[in-house]
């Protein structure tokens, strides 16, 4: 099974703090890197946590509040200094062109690779490659905001080792069998169908990123149960009124969404600065409803 790995570069505190970086996460699969949000300091965090920016395929911005996007212009320039040649795709809500294009034009001589901007105006599949597909999901925030669901492509079934040995299947035939072929025994013993030669493929893994938003239980109708869910948890229920006013979630709200989506594991982040000295109440509140919850602290690396 290919390594499918998430690294937290920025927890995404709702206000600047000494403890956390603005929002940024790195997802890697099959040697490709995908950035999710890109707050200030993203490239320094990537270097600190040994995330290879040379492998960057695409950037996905949830929305255009500064704590989720202002690290991108500097990152784009640094990639050019590192002699990047291949195009880079950047996805985000409407307004992406108006915000970023003038910067790209200003630095036209310094960014000598193609930065392709994709403004999202509706839900759907926004990105696909040989390893995964990405769906964007509308969230409920003060400005246009999307969550993203990264789903691994279905792999091939596993060929049975005992059948390889028993039937003396040569190495060159294994790929064809995985892709659906059977095996004609050269000793005249007859044809062995594909179904007897393989076991089912591993279930596709998925990662759902939901920030910033009020809790949306209706997302259960749009998102299949994810292997890992990230959901903002800016406040505890003690400040639920602030959460509703500012279109954010409490830790309990995040856990409720995790339950509704039947997620296997929950990551929470984007904490209010009022919890800077002690985030345990946020974690405790989420775990009371969804025990398999962790804080999305910088440097955390998880394999899905």
> Would you give the distance in Å from CA 19 to the centre of its chain?
23
H helix or E strand, kind and range, residue 175: helix 174-178
DSSP 15: S
CA-based nearest residue to 208, from 192, 217, 219: 219
Residues 6+ apart with CB under 8 A from 206: 149, 150, 151, 152, 224, 226, 227, 228, 304
Apex 250 CA angle, 245 and 255, nearest 5: 140
CA-based nearest residue to 217, from 257, 164, 259: 257
212 catalytic residue (yes or no): no
Yes or no: say if 53 and 76 are a contact pair by the CB < 8 Å rule.
no
Reading the block at residue 20, the tokens are 């956390």
Yes or no: say if 298 and 11 are a contact pair by the CB < 8 Å rule.
yes
Identified catalytic residue from 37, 67, 89, 212:
67
Q: Where in the sequence numbering do the catalytic residues fall?
A: 67
């Amino acid at each position: 099974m290919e390594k499918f790995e998430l690294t937290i570069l920025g927890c995404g505190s709702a206000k600047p703090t000494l403890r956390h970086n603005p929002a940024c996460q790195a997802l890697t699969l099959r040697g490709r890197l995908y950035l999710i949000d890109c707050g200030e300091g993203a490239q320094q965090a990537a270097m600190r946590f040994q995330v290879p920016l040379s492998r960057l395929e695409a950037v996905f911005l949830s929305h255009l509040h500064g704590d989720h996007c202002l690290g991108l212009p500097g990152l784009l320039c640094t990639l050019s200094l590192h002699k990047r040649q291949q195009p880079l795709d950047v996805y985000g809500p409407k307004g992406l062109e108006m915000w970023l294009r003038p910067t790209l034009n200003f630095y036209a001589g310094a960014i000598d690779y193609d930065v392709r901007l994709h403004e999202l105006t509706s839900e759907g599949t926004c990105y696909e490659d040989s390893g995964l597909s990405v769906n964007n999901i509308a969230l409920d925030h003060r400005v246009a905001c999307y969550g993203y669901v990264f789903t691994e492509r279905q792999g091939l079934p596993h060929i049975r080792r005992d059948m390889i040995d028993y039937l003396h299947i040569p190495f060159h035939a294994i790929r064809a069998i995985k892709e659906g072929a059977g095996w004609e025994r050269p000793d005249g013993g007859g044809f062995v169908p594909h179904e007897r030669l393989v076991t089912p493929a591993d279930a596709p893994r998925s990662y759902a990123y939901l920030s910033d938003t009020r809790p949306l239980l209706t997302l259960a109708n749009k998102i299949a149960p994810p292997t890992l869910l990230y959901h903002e948890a800016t406040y505890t229920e003690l400040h639920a009124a602030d959460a509703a006013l500012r279109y954010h979630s409490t830790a309990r709200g995040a856990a409720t969404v995790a339950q509704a989506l039947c997620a296997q594991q929950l990551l929470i982040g984007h904490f209010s600065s009022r919890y800077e000295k002690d985030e345990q109440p946020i974690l405790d509140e989420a775990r009371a409803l969804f025990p398999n919850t962790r804080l999305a602290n910088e440097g955390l690396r998880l394999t899905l």
